[in-house]
Structure 1
Amino acid sequence: MIVWLNGTHGVGKTTTGALVRRLVPGSRVLDAEKVGETLMDIEPGLPWTGNFQDWPPWRPLVVETARRVLEYTGGTLVMPMTVLVERYWREISAGLAEHAIPVRHFVLHADRDTLLRRIEEDTVLGPSEFRLAYVEPYAEAARTWLHQEAEVVDTTRLTPAQAARRIAEAVARG
Structure 2
Amino acid sequence: MLPREGTILPMIVWINGAFGSGKTTAAGLLTKRLDGAKLFDPEYVGFMLMPFVESPTGDFQDLPLWRHLVIEAMTGLARQYRHPWVAPMSLINAAYRAEILGGIRGAGVEVHEFVLAVPEDRLRARIDTDQVEVKARRWRHDHVDQALTTFGSLTDATFIDGTQPPKEVAEAVLTRLRG
Give the structure-1-normalised TM-score. Answer: 0.91
CA contact (8 A) 2:55 2:62 kept: no
Residue 135 (structure 1) aligned with residue 144 (structure 2): yes
Residue matched to 1:68: 76
Q: 2:38 aligns with which of 28, 48, 71?
A: 28
Classify the secondary structure of the residue corresponding to 2:134: coil
Residue matched to 2:8: none
Question: Match of 1:28, as an amino acid?
Answer: K
Gaps of 5+ in 1: none
Classify the secondary structure of the residue corresponding to 1:66: helix
Regions of 4+ moved over 6 Å: none
Deviations 1:111-167 (A, max 9, x none): 111111111111212371111111111111122x33x221011222x1010000000
Residue 38 (structure 1) aligned with residue 44 (structure 2): no
Q: Deviation at 1:79? A: 0.4
Residue matched to 2:131: 123
Classify the secondary structure of the residue corresponding to 1:36: helix
Residue matched to 2:87: 79
Gaps of 5+ in 2: 1-10
Residue matched to 1:150: 157
Residue matched to 1:4: 14
Give the structure-2-normalised TM-score. Answer: 0.89
Matched residues, number: 168
% identity of equivalent residues: 33
